[in-house]
Amino acid sequence: MTAPNSSERKACWEARDLLWKCLDDNDGVTCQRFQTEFEDKCPAQWVKYFTKRRDFLKYKEKMQTEGFTPAEGPKEAS
């Protein structure tokens, strides 16, 4: 597999940005067209990376706005 050239990278990033905007504004079902376009315009490894990256960024944003609440561990016996 050859590395994407400049115009292919730009098309991939634009498809990614459109998908992410759709996902932020709507539910996932209405974004299927953008998901398909994203997968068609980007190498599979990039799709995997960008998907994980978005999940991480959403998690990070949630931690910054809501804070971290540790899970309760086992109760200590007295």
How far apart CA 65 and CA 57 sit, in angstroms, is 12
pLDDT of residue 73 exceeding 80? no
Other CB atoms closer than 10 Å to residue 49's CB: what's the count? 12
Residue 78 pLDDT: 57
Q: What is the DSSP string of 36-49?
A: HHHHHHS-HHHHHH
SS3 25: helix
Return the CA Rg of the chain: 18
Across the range 57-78, mean pLDDT stands at: 82
- Which residue, among 40, 27, 33, 35, has the nearest Cα to 51 in the 3D structure? 35
Domain ranges of the chain: 6-65
Residue 48 pLDDT: 98
pLDDT digits (tens, 9 = 90+) for 3-29: 899 999 999 999 999 999 999 999 778
pLDDT of residue 71 exceeding 90? no
Calculate the average pLDDT of the chain.
Answer: 91
